[in-house]
Structure 1
Amino acid sequence: MILSKKEWSVLGLFTATLPLFIIAFIVQNNYEFMGYVVVTLALFGLLLYSHKYVQYPLYVLWCLLVWAILHMLGGVEFAPGEVIYTFVICPIISEPYSILKYDQVVHAYGFFVATLVMFSVLHRYLVVRFSWTAVGIVLAMAGLGLGALNEIIEFGMTITMPRTNVGGYENTALDLVFNLVGAIAAALFLRWKELKGVKLINKD
């Protein structure tokens, strides 16, 4: 697989930052997020393999890198037993929902990016006879599908790990809500790009 210099810069920065988080997780005995490191590596491996077929836009690759860094950063402890993912950025709604947390922001952003990835995969099959309403719904559902897969992975972590920072039912439901927010935002962003004159859908 041949990458451009700009694409190599994305991969290089990912490769440079990942060991720092691995060291932090080992020092803090955070084996849950060591598991997420494996998942993140598998995701980037899949993206690298599929890039020769899909040709993900450079901005999507950078967005994925930012998501990976934010995700790994969320697993770092800022106090004994408290990871950054649990940090309340702005106390809009109190317990049991605890809005707005770092976790929720990363979920919204992450599945904004995941929806852009799904558009990169699907866009060659989209033609002008499909309305943007239909395209937006399909893209949002695709992003939500990846979000559901993420929740299954988190469930697996709760089974295999003696101690995790995965919350209960309310946390899972809120994760899905913020996934939906991110997926809808991505569909609206793509529509905005189309209105600005960027050709996103094939003409035949």
Structure 2
Amino acid sequence: MTTQEKPILLFNTLYLTSFALYAVLQKNYEFIFYVSIVLFFIILIVVKNKKIGLSPRVLWGLSAWGLLHMMGGTIPVHDSVLYNLQLIPVLLKYDQFVHAFGFGTTTIVGYQLLRPYLKTDLNWTTLSLLLILIGLGAGAMNEILEFIATVIIPETNVGGYVNTSLDLVFNLIGATIAGLWLKKTHAR
């Protein structure tokens, strides 16, 4: 582990431990489930990052996404939680913002994972489209995990069909912004 990665791991350890403890004390089984998923990915990245080489910026982005997610499901706002806070009436809830940010970050992770295998004369339009699809695939897996939560945990804060559809739309928005940004900053 590099000196740049140590504070990132400390940050993740602190926020995840805090929110895990809070979820346990509140008997919030849905978020205990989500904490375990985030913990799995943190461990996977810690173990594999020497080989895969995600940049510190991307690691911070993933860390921020994890924190935003933990805050969204546990911090009370009015009669609900932060995830349900309407940021822009009708258009944008905190939940959709986190989806756009998270799967935009995931799209950049996809690029960093593929980078060692890419040719220098590649077609950036095609690559951007493929990276967007990687972000969307990860977003679809997230929705499957949310569905599993609704099946195994009696009461969850996972919304219905409209919520899932909005999540997928905002996954697309985040992945597209990241794909276009990658093309703009890396195409020669």
Q: TM-score range by the shorter chain?
A: over 0.9
For 1:103 and 1:70, locate their aligned partners in 2 and report how far apart those are by CA, in whole Å.
Answer: 9
For 1:138 and 1:122, locate their aligned partners in 2 and report how far apart those are by CA, in whole Å.
Answer: 11
User: What's the TM-score, normalizing by structure 1?
Assistant: 0.87
Partner in structure 2 of residue 35 of structure 1: 33
For 2:181 and 2:45, locate their aligned partners in 1 and report how far apart those are by CA, in whole Å.
Answer: 22
Gaps of 5+ in 1: 94-98, 198-204
Q: Over aligned residues, Cα RMSD in angstroms? A: 1.5
For 2:173 and 2:179, locate their aligned partners in 1 and report how far apart those are by CA, in whole Å.
Answer: 10
Shift of 1:193: 1.9
For 1:113 and 1:29, locate their aligned partners in 2 and report how far apart those are by CA, in whole Å.
Answer: 30
C-alpha contact 2:77 2:85 (8 A) present in aligned 1: no
C-alpha contact 1:76 1:83 (8 A) present in aligned 2: yes
For 2:34 and 2:15, locate their aligned partners in 1 and report how far apart those are by CA, in whole Å.
Answer: 15
Residue type of the partner of 1:59?
Answer: R
For 2:172 and 2:34, locate their aligned partners in 1 and report how far apart those are by CA, in whole Å.
Answer: 22
111, 115, 126: which is aligned to 1:123? 115
For 1:116 and 1:50, locate their aligned partners in 2 and report how far apart those are by CA, in whole Å.
Answer: 17
Q: Identical aligned pairs, as a percentage? A: 41
Q: What secondary structure is seen at the aligned counterpart in 1 of 2:69?
A: helix
C-alpha contact 1:90 1:100 (8 A) present in aligned 2: yes
Residue type of the partner of 1:103?
Answer: D
C-alpha contact 1:75 1:85 (8 A) present in aligned 2: yes
Residue type of the partner of 2:167?
Answer: D
Shift of 1:110: 0.2
More off after superposition, 9-18 vs 103-112: 9-18
46, 49, 52: which is aligned to 2:47? 49
72, 75, 81: which is aligned to 1:74? 72
Shift of 1:39: 0.2
C-alpha contact 2:104 2:171 (8 A) present in aligned 1: yes
**How many residues are aligned here?**
188
Q: What secondary structure is seen at the aligned counterpart in 1 of 2:4?
A: helix
User: What's the TM-score, normalizing by structure 2?
Assistant: 0.95
Partner in structure 2 of residue 202 of structure 1: none
Shift of 1:22: 1.6
C-alpha contact 2:103 2:139 (8 A) present in aligned 1: yes
- Deviation string 1:129-158 (CA, Å, 9 cap, x unpaired) is 321100000100011110010000000000
Shift of 1:27: 3.0
Shift of 1:183: 0.6
